[in-house]
Chain A
């Protein structure tokens, strides 16, 4: 058939093309439009689907990117927190020593040596060269005058070239001479510059050598510089200000470091970043305020220990005997709102003691406290402490040494001479106030007592008991001990001292209750305090002074004990009480006075009445293996120490004993309990349970030797009386194999319209009751093992 009209329809998007043919043009066009519209519709739908897919993919990608970003930020945040927590341990890896050697210069002189470059003369003109040869034509060759003319011209050219050449050579020579002179000048300058450079370098290196020698000899300035280098090299997180000043006291071989630590606001807080898929936003989670405070405190303590570690480890020359570290923080005080600088951590430690520590294993705060460090109670609030040692102390000491002695110094010195204790003067508090020039007070207060102590501290004297350290007030008639502490003034007693002084006071209270302190009691007191006396020389001086006061005036032992002991927790108070009882019994007799003193101490320690009443017999019963009861020389109404209880069962001639009757009673009671429990737990006796009634199906019995033989020769069927009916079929199938894989087990359960965990639950619960153990054992890989040994059937009838 022949068509008159043809139209080609093309859609580029769908990549389709069709040729339409027809006899009617309008009809053909209409058909083409329809086709095109149809393709457009399809294309539009495809575009929409693609756009949706892209949007989903973009959303997913954005979500994934968001999640990834959140994870990355979380990792960074966690790393930052981990870095804060490991300030100490991160510094324990071996570091190359800091030496002045590393700062020596080995650089070469930078300028290149000048080089003389002379110009070379050009080659002389060559007469035989073509340019100087006459170019003769045929005519020139025939006509001699022409030939002669051309030859003369060539010769003239050659002569000119020669003249030119000579001039050039002369010029070049002259230039070379000038250049050479210039070179010589430059070279001379270069030589001198290089020499100067090398001299400078040698001087620098020599200075470093001299520093090294000075360092090894303990030159204060150089030692300080060396320590500065050590601390500078130490890498900290970015928020650490890393500012510090070091001062080396050569006479005491002590390094004092004042280190600026970060403030509470600058520590990292972020712990987690989460990406919320629905809102497409990030939510940040910070550590709690309590955790932040803990982290901050830990950071400060670790920074202190780390700096001391670095300084001690880097002390190649052995010029340090001790390091005093003061951690300062500059920030806005929440109490005053002003920008303040507060000391939050202070530690003074002997280098040998510090290097003996295994810092990789210590708990930093406990280590810090044990070393006698002083730490702020609320570092996050910039609650300041008094540094143990500062450079100013020495300056003040030097100043004090140069100052005129206080007006009361002579009087105090004469009081010391008159006293029965070496180096200690005893005065009433009111007299002391008058002596130092303070106005008498009508009413004692902790504030005024503290001022008195601080005034004396400033003049180089100490007071025991120390009202500033203990927060107590001196009544006018209270007697105190005043003494001068050699060397550095202990303005802030250590935490260990506070406890030791309180114990000393309590022990004197009890020991002196019977009127005298006898040698056994003195020895016990000394033994108890020996560790404290050995720990710190300054503390030892204080304790000795306090001890002298208490021997001089035993009544002072009871002064202020309530304030000292009221914060002791219950278990430590009991231990203190036991120590006091042992002290009272040291002479073999507890007098009424000692009993009253112990009761007074117990009341001060707020022990429950029941404990206070029994502390003496408990202590004596627990702690005495041998007791000696001897009559006192003086008549006494005291309580004698009880004899040891008798024992019914004893395997040794000691006070350890068991009551056989009690054991028998407990055994009887236990048997009754076991019977009760056995009834509840349906414990089996040695005999097997009676078999169930016979049925066409076989019964389940326990495995016994009698019916064991029947297993191997007869086909077995099991039934499960007591197991819920829905599990019977599956249980039967399970018992046909020893092991089932997880998938087989699940499929079998599904086939029986059951769920696998439900099967295990029900079957094992039944088996535990009926058979005494679980029938199905879940293995680690998910497979199930059948404990078919629990099942034994009787043969089919």
Chain B
């Protein structure tokens, strides 16, 4: 490697200020950025191409289903967010949520509806990449029709009628009638200046009504989005997005490990896996249109034959890899994309990318040389152990902090900071369920009330 040419010097295009700030703030907080991921992407060309193919498929009117699998720290959430950025760029609507014990695919006591609510709350469009894009999406669609009718001399009643007509094909879907009715109520609320009616309509669309009585009282509709109907509602929403002028909808769900390693009841797990199977079947058979599902989970949550997706035979046969794809041969046609952990070299390139982002894409403004990247990695190896590169969060966070200090304190030497005591400290609390389970597998419900070695210290 040349000492003169800085790493990753190909990426010299200027970086938008808001993307730069979003990237650096997220990384410093130990989180995956929601924007500008392409500036810090490292390798994974074939995986990116596979996901781009999926996005194209969704735009073209088909469907896609993927499970991104990798160890904690391998970059699954990063990958999900990268897909999200690409999807938004392709005029897709993206809904995203993390599964938790209170939010899962199948439930009978509101947890499935809670997942749906979270997904819709985080609905992102190109102009609302951070989420909360549902009002804009709805109003964009209404505006198009309202402007057309009223510019031609129509009145509110005619606008309403046209809204209904425009949704005629959606009304054929399950729950479509109420969906159209609620959108009509939204327009009515807008016309009458009734913000509470508008709010109620948005709440209904997000599945926030827990009882039919409340919905009937607020909106006059007799159905609500419930645990049993979230999949139908997602299909409905995808169809509506297309009506509103978008290319379709992508559903990103992270922390699949909750299903396998947090749910204590086998029955609940099986029910959720059946839902996953339904999604796979519908997407791969082309039953749904303009809709894609991307899940992220660990290797164990897929391959564990007792608790993981492989414990459900139908899923195992669909998800198991191509037997010919071994010894360096790959096949990304299947639903599963495996991400290997970052290697130390990949982490090195990542730090170089972060350095570039910090300099807003201008190599002349790089705050540290390549030797500093090497020193940071060596310090990480000494401080965090030889596995430091498998969970790069702490290294990245410290590196961003280093760059910030150097930026705000000109004249400070990076050597002093890197070798200082405060550099590189491990987070004391896990930031995700996967990390928590990785650190404390005792959280497994049937693992150990009587663990003889519970207090072992080495």
Contacts and interface: CB of A to CB of B under 8 A. Distances in A.
Query: Mostly helix, strand, loop or mixed at chain A's interface?
Result: helix
Contacts of B44: 669, 673
B385 interface: yes
Contacts of A654: 378
Contact of A667 (B7, B126, B135, B190): B7
Interface stretch (B169-177, B323-331, B341-349, B423-431): B341-349
Interface string B273-304: 00000000000000000000000000000000
A672 B48 CA distance: 11
A172 interface: no
B455 A495 contact: yes
A567 B442 CA distance: 10
Nearest to A685: B13
Contact of B143 (A578, A579, A658, A726): A726
B74 to A, nearest CB: 15
A571 B442 CA distance: 9
Contacts of B345: 658-659, 662-663, 666
B41 A674 contact: yes
Contacts of A754: 143, 146-147
B165 to A, nearest CB: 17
Contacts of B344: 658
B437 to A, nearest CB: 10
Specify which of B90, B126, B343, B449 lies most central, judged by the most chain A CB atoms within 10 Å of its CB.
B126
A762 interface: yes
B142 to A, nearest CB: 5
A686 B381 contact: no
Nearest to B146: A753
B408 interface: no
B140 interface: yes
Interface stretch (B62-70, B227-235, B369-377, B396-404): B369-377
B10 interface: yes
Contacts, number: 215
Interface in A721-737: 724, 726-727
Nearest to A372: B455
A499 B456 contact: yes
Interface in B423-450: 438-439, 441-442, 444, 447-450
B441 A569 contact: yes
B107 interface: no
A763 B127 CA distance: 8
B41 A656 contact: no
Given A579-B458, A666-B346, A670-B349, A677 B48 contact: yes
Contacts of B343: 662
B452 interface: yes
A572 B149 CA distance: 68
Given A649-B374, A678-B13, A754-B146, A569 B451 contact: yes
B453 A651 contact: no
Given A567-B448, A768-B126, A681 B85 contact: yes
A363 to B, nearest CB: 12
Interface in A684-720: 684-686
Interface string B1-35: 10000011011011010100000000000000000
A686 B451 contact: no
Give the residue among B90, B148, B454 with the most A Cβ atoms within 10 A. B454
A569 B149 CA distance: 66
A502 B452 contact: yes
A695 B265 CA distance: 68
Find the residue from A369, A652, A772 having the highest chain B CB count within 10 A.
Answer: A652
A569 B448 contact: yes
Interface residues of A, number: 80
Contact of A680 (B90, B190, B441): B90
B266 interface: no
Nearest to B381: A656
Interface in B350-403: 353, 371, 374-375, 377-378, 381-382, 385-387
A642 to B, nearest CB: 14
Name, among B90, B151, B345, the residue most crowded by chain A CB atoms within 10 Å (CB to CB): B345
A734 B248 CA distance: 30
A663 B382 CA distance: 21
A663 B1 CA distance: 8
A765 interface: yes
A74 to B, nearest CB: 16
A569 B444 contact: yes
A764 interface: yes
A684 B13 CA distance: 8
Contact of B451 (A567, A664, A666, A773): A567
Interface of B: 1, 7-8, 10-11, 13-14, 16, 18, 38, 41-45, 48-49, 52, 85-86, 89-91, 125-128, 133, 135-144, 146-151, 190, 213, 245, 343-346, 348-349, 353, 371, 374-375, 377-378, 381-382, 385-387, 438-439, 441-442, 444, 447-458
Interface of A: 278, 369-370, 377, 470, 495-496, 498-500, 502-503, 528, 531, 564-565, 567-572, 575-576, 578-579, 621-622, 649, 651-652, 654, 656, 658-660, 662-664, 666-667, 669-674, 676-678, 680-686, 724, 726-727, 749, 752-765, 768-769, 772-774
Given A499-B456, A670-B8, 7 more contacts: A499-B454, A567-B448, A571-B439, A676-B48, A680-B86, A681-B86, A762-B127
23 contacts: A370-B455, A495-B455, A567-B448, A568-B448, A652-B378, A656-B378, A656-B382, A660-B1, A666-B345, A667-B10, A670-B353, A673-B43, A674-B11, A676-B48, A676-B49, A678-B38, A724-B245, A753-B143, A753-B150, A755-B146, A758-B139, A761-B140, A768-B127
